[in-house]
Amino acid sequence: MKTKPENWHGLGPFTVFDVETTGMSPVYDRIVEIAAIRVECNGEITRFQSLVNPGCDIPLSVSCVHHITNDMVANASRFREVAFEFMELVSGSTLVAHNARFDLGFLQESLARNGMPLWRGKTMDSLKLMRQVYKGLPSYSLQNLRRTFQLDDDVVENMQAHRAAADVEWTLQLIALAFTALLKHAN
């Protein structure tokens, strides 16, 4: 049975996720926010988002990028508590992130640091997928792709760019575009 382009989610289930952090190193820095959207094979969607108390200060230079402050995470749950719910959500799906090496690196390091099982499921990088399907674009950054493909900003109306929930919504729109294009070409 072939999957119709409009039913790209039939290739799943997929869970698109994103993290915001205290810096660039999974070893030395910590997650301050995690968000995900799980898309079932029938198209049903489940959303997840949580701030995370990193147990350390968020540098001002980093806070200026994602706008998450120390006050915002002071009373948030620690990673271990959030991770149980997140890992239950993603179980049995393909984990998708834009520039997955970064997000997956933080996820794996955080799971290991907390004595939890590592992610052993399938993963996919939407950045690599977009490079494959839409060759020759000047930039494949999430914000550039958002502008290039005029992604739906209504979905993220009350969200900020560089926040995990907004970035997950845009990444989901990108993989829908890419899979739809691939399936049209295949049929």
| pLDDT tens profile 45-76 | 999 999 999 999 999 999 999 999 999 999 99
pTM of the model: 0.92
pLDDT of residue 52: 98
Is residue 144 within a helix (H) or strand (E), and if so which, with residue range?
helix 142-148
Q: Is 45 helix (H, G, I), strand (E, B) or coil?
A: strand
Residue 162 bears catalytic tag: yes
Q: Tokens for 125, please give them.
A: 């990088």
CA dist 107 → 32, 68, 82, 115 (Å): 12, 18, 11, 12
CB of 69 within 8 A of CB of 63?
yes
14, pLDDT greater than 50: yes
Q: If pLDDT is split at 50, 70 and 90, which confidence band does 1 have?
A: very low
Q: Name the residue with higher pLDDT: 133 or 184.
A: 133
pLDDT, the chain, mean? 92
Place of tokens 């691939």: 182
* Domains of the chain, CATH where assigned: 5-186 (3.30.420.10)
pLDDT of residue 79: 98
Q: Is 72 helix (H, G, I), strand (E, B) or coil?
A: helix
Q: Which of 9, 67, 98, 162 is catalytic?
A: 162
CB of 50 within 8 A of CB of 77?
yes
